[in-house]
Structure 1
Amino acid sequence: MPEKILITAAGSYGDVAPYTGVGARLRAAGHEVVLATHDTYAGLVRAAGLEFRPLPADPRAHRPDPAGPARPAGPGSRRALLRRAAAFIEELGGGIADAAHDDTALLLLSATTAPLGHHLAEALDIPSLDLPLVPGAPTGDFAPVVGGGRSLGRWGNRAAGRLSLRVIDRLYAGATAALRTRLGLPPATPRAVRRRAEAAGRPVLHGFSEVLVPRPADWRPGLEVVGNWWPWHAPEAQLPPVVEDFLAAGPPPVFLGFGSMAAGDGERLGDLAVRALRRAGLRGILQSGWAGLTTRHTGGHADVLTIGDVPHALLFPRTAAVVHHCGAGTAAAGLRAGVPTVPVPVTADQPFWAHRLAALGAATAPIPFPELSADRLAHALTQATAAPERRRHAAGAAHRLATEDGTGAVLKAVERLRG
């Protein structure tokens, strides 16, 4: 039976889609590749020519109440968020074990699945490779990416980074204990397993660009920044005719979308976006996303088009600017297109990427989601589209991104591990 590479990835679209690009590159080099993720993304995985295996805890099926407000969490809500995260991880642990079959020869692990996958690799006695999309190791250069992007000074940044790892260890403690029992492994805490990996110098390849985050000099050897992994799409893929017609009907529009954020807030956000676009004198394309962004309740507008999912790589280069929540993948996609960004971060690592884009000169100052208004968005849109220096900075960054080969670095690492 041929041996297979198993990639495991869990979370929202942005947490999963980049691994279709990795898998397609490995497959093109002759490897047999399986991508285990949630049922929601089965079509995406199979379209890339990869074998699909299911993981439980699909966040699309268990997203927040769509009738509830889309607002960042307060202290009490953060505790509830941590409880939900722990429950998600508990459910994910059993699925990780089921995804590996007798033919699995190598594990490639996303940041979410790595703390579980390491135990599976130990039980199967096979190598594994961590492939996170965000920086996670402590450094003096910046605070943990979930900390909002504000530096605490070099000592404070490192201390906060170590504390962040301990929080993650606690989140995975229950799932780790259950998984090790199921796999017949002796008890070991997540912290102990993590420290063993660090001491062994286990390689970790980060799927983002040094254009946005230069590799910290105080990282240990083996922690590498290799460049972005772009979601796979068919070489012959084209934008839907309705999008092409809209693009041809006037000047380049602004893209607005919030990905997996702001569930159930679509009508409010759609109305806000239309008012902002009109005040700025711009056309717009609204991507519905999990928020259900729409203008139907306002009767529709000839200068605004609402769409479903389309490849950002095809649409973004044809826009005047992009407005989004600044998840890692969307932030990189806007930069790759060479267009200015208006960041509206909601939670998690999004403020980190928003501040990185602004510091690069390719984005306006971030607008925190709870402060978003038609007036603030209109002002930011004018800044993004009327200031040529932002487009120049974005275009320069795009040129540098075009020289990187993130999936090629993964391929080389895989072949070293399997050789």
Structure 2
Amino acid sequence: MARNAGLQFAPLSADFRQLMGRERDTLDRGLNLLRVYAMVKRRLMEMAALWPQEGLRACEGADLLIGAGNTTLLTYALGEARRLPVVQAQLQPMTPCRDIPPMLLPPSRWPLPGAVNLGLYRLLRLLSWRAMGPAYNEVVRPALGLPPYPWGGPDALKSGAPRRTLYGYSPQVLPRSADWGPEISVTGYWVLPEQRWEPPQALQDFLAAGEAPVYIGFGSMAGGDAQRLAAAALEALQRSGRRGVLSTGWGGMALPAGLDASQVHVIGHAPHEWLFPRMALAVHHGGAGTSAAAMRAGIPSVVVPFFGDQPFWAERLRRLGAAPEPLRRKKLDGLSLAAAIARASTPAMRKRAATLGESLRTEDGVACAVAQLRSWGLA
């Protein structure tokens, strides 16, 4: 994908699909932050062994480094070693503030006091550092000739300018915090230009054979209950009298053979920007990208969060009127999923989702991000 866009590509050693398969027990308890932190600490040490040399290769000839996700600290280390400017590019709000609750905690229906939010941010950032610290202090930074961070991590350093950050979500979905300074920019969603993707003929025929179907898929999520989730999805479609496009993704659903091809069409993957506008609604895990695609398509969602930021986006969708109450994965069955599909199919929710999608499609998050980099003197 990178090379097709005319970019050079230098990989880092990390196989997250394999990691999902090896950590199914942790994923099954994915809303337990302590288990997730223990898994990150254990696996990041393994993955980071080659990152210093691979990172140096990747940034050869660069004038600017942009870090995202769990490689952000690697990017800062490379920038420090090569004296290059660094910008964060994140899909979730991570900068401490008083008016946005930490996205890794279960959503609260009532606003928390600003001081409480700030305290929770500091605690979570410390816990995150304690999980990632061994990989960076014992592997990455020594290999780059850099001193280790103190016990409290990068946040414990008192020197240095505020870290510039681009947030790739829409301010219509989550308004910018009043606490953030000019080093923080909420740009809107980053969407690739329309891809040259040719849908299989069988999928085209299924879509043409009736009304818009329900999409059900959990993307890169995988767990030990794939058969139960598949059974719930099939039962919900039957109870609802709806046709469905079911995506197996990385193994979130294990579908049986012999399904009625007139009612259910099974795919491994299809670009959401192409597929979702052709769906009536989407049942998904609530990941940042999938949630964005459903909102931009103007269709309602039914969210079944697995872990991480997914409950946060599920709550944002609910507050925006584009999704009903999220469903608990461990208690999901055909009856509850069918009821949620019915709630998401009401005229009021469909209208709200369509209005939101129309508004989001007017944004150009990529152009806004590039303009912000130029205003910082970095592009």
Decide: shared fold, TM above 0.5: yes
Q: Pick closer, same or farther for the CA change 1:315–1:218 going to 2, 3 Å.
A: same
Which amino acid in 2 is paired with 1:159? G
Q: Pick closer, same or farther for the CA change 1:105–1:90 going to 2, 3 Å.
A: farther
Which amino acid in 2 is paired with 1:59? F
- The equivalent of 1:227 in structure 2 is 188
Q: Report if aligned partners of 1:136, 1:144 keep a CA contact under 8 Å in 2.
A: yes
Distance 1:243 1:122 in 2: 49
Q: Report if aligned partners of 2:318, 2:325 keep a CA contact under 8 Å in 1.
A: yes
Q: Pick closer, same or farther for the CA change 1:112–1:381 going to 2, 3 Å.
A: same
Distance 2:255 2:148 in 1: 54
- The equivalent of 1:61 in structure 2 is 18
- The equivalent of 1:262 in structure 2 is 222
- The equivalent of 1:239 in structure 2 is 199
- The equivalent of 1:309 in structure 2 is 269
User: Does residue 141 of structure 1 match 2:99?
Assistant: yes
- The equivalent of 1:279 in structure 2 is 239
Q: Report if aligned partners of 1:70, 1:265 keep a CA contact under 8 Å in 2.
A: no
CA RMSD of aligned residues (A): 2.4
- The equivalent of 2:73 in structure 1 is 115
SS at match of 1:261: coil
For residues 227-281 of structure 1, the C-alpha deviation after alignment (integer angstroms, 9 at most, x for no partner) is: 11124652x3232221111000011000000112233533322221111011111
Q: Report if aligned partners of 2:229, 2:333 keep a CA contact under 8 Å in 1.
A: no
Q: Report if aligned partners of 1:363, 1:390 keep a CA contact under 8 Å in 2.
A: yes
1:315-394 pair list within 5 angstroms: 315-385=275-345, 387-394=346-353
SS at match of 1:53: coil
- The equivalent of 2:363 in structure 1 is 404
Q: Report if aligned partners of 2:185, 2:372 keep a CA contact under 8 Å in 1.
A: no
- The equivalent of 1:45 in structure 2 is 2
Shift of 1:345: 1.0
Distance 2:362 2:115 in 1: 34
- The equivalent of 1:71 in structure 2 is 28
Shift of 1:67: 7.8
SS at match of 2:198: coil
* TM score, norm. by length of structure 1: 0.82
- The equivalent of 1:249 in structure 2 is 209
Q: Which ranges of structure 1 fall in alignment gaps of 5 or more residues?
A: 1-43
1:78-97 pair list within 5 angstroms: 78-97=33-52
Distance 1:100 1:375 in 2: 53
SS at match of 1:61: helix
Distance 2:159 2:311 in 1: 28
* TM score, norm. by length of structure 2: 0.90
Shift of 1:154: 2.5
Distance 1:100 1:212 in 2: 36
Q: Which ranges of structure 2 fall in alignment gaps of 5 or more residues?
A: none
Q: Report if aligned partners of 2:67, 2:89 keep a CA contact under 8 Å in 1.
A: yes
- Identity among equivalent positions (%) equals 36
Shift of 1:180: 1.8
- The equivalent of 1:214 in structure 2 is 175
Relative to structure 2, which stretch is displaced further, 97-106 or 114-123? 97-106
Shift of 1:296: 2.7
- The equivalent of 1:8 in structure 2 is none
Q: Pick closer, same or farther for the CA change 1:190–1:199 going to 2, 3 Å.
A: farther
Shift of 1:174: 1.2
Q: Pick closer, same or farther for the CA change 1:74–1:136 going to 2, 3 Å.
A: closer
Q: Report if aligned partners of 2:237, 2:243 keep a CA contact under 8 Å in 1.
A: yes
SS at match of 1:164: helix
Distance 1:83 1:332 in 2: 29
Relative to structure 2, which stretch is displaced further, 299-308 or 343-352? 299-308
SS at match of 1:147: coil
- The equivalent of 2:164 in structure 1 is 203
Instruction: Give the alignment partner of residue 293 of structure 1, picking from 244, 250, 253.
Output: 253
User: Does residue 160 of structure 1 match 2:131?
Assistant: no
- The equivalent of 2:143 in structure 1 is 182
Shift of 1:309: 1.1
For residues 4-56 of structure 1, the C-alpha deviation after alignment (integer angstroms, 9 at most, x for no partner) is: xxxxxxxxxxxxxxxxxxxxxxxxxxxxxxxxxxxxxxxx3333332221212
- The equivalent of 1:14 in structure 2 is none
For residues 86-135 of structure 1, the C-alpha deviation after alignment (integer angstroms, 9 at most, x for no partner) is: 13332343443223233232211103111221111000001111001100
Q: Pick closer, same or farther for the CA change 1:65–1:186 going to 2, 3 Å.
A: closer
Shift of 1:398: 1.2
Distance 1:135 1:272 in 2: 32
Shift of 1:84: 1.9
SS at match of 2:327: coil
Which amino acid in 2 is paired with 1:204? T
Distance 2:158 2:194 in 1: 34
